[in-house]
């Protein structure tokens, strides 16, 4: 789902997740399967919500 996976470190994952979170109103206004696949790809790469830094 995400291109250039070798370039996505945890800091970049934080940025992607922040964008998704804010653009979707914390998943209130957009619940497309593609959106959740992108977040799943982040998790597969080692990103965790518990490590998320706001």
Residue 9 lies in a domain: yes
Residue 15 lies in a domain: yes
Q: What is the structure's pLDDT at 23?
A: 92
What is the pTM for the complete model shown? 0.72
Residue 54 lies in a domain: no
Q: Structural domain tally of the chain?
A: 1
DSSP string, 4-50: -GGG--HHHHHHHHHHHHHHTTTTTS---HHHHHHHHHHHHTT--ST
Q: What is the pLDDT along the chain (54 residues), one digit of tens a residue?
A: 556 666 778 888 888 888 998 999 988 988 889 999 988 888 888 888 776 655
Q: What is the structure's pLDDT at 25?
A: 92
Residue 37 lies in a domain: yes
Residue 34 lies in a domain: yes
Residue 49 lies in a domain: no
Give the separation between CA 16 and CA 7, rounded to whole angstroms.
12
Domain extent, residue 35, equals 5-44
């Amino acid at each position: 789902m995400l291109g250039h996976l070798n370039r996505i470190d945890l800091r970049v994952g934080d940025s992607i997740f922040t964008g998704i979170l804010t653009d979707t109103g914390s998943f209130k206004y957009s619940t497309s399967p593609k959106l959740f696949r992108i977040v799943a790809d982040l998790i597969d790469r080692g990103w965790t919500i518990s490590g998320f830094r706001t």
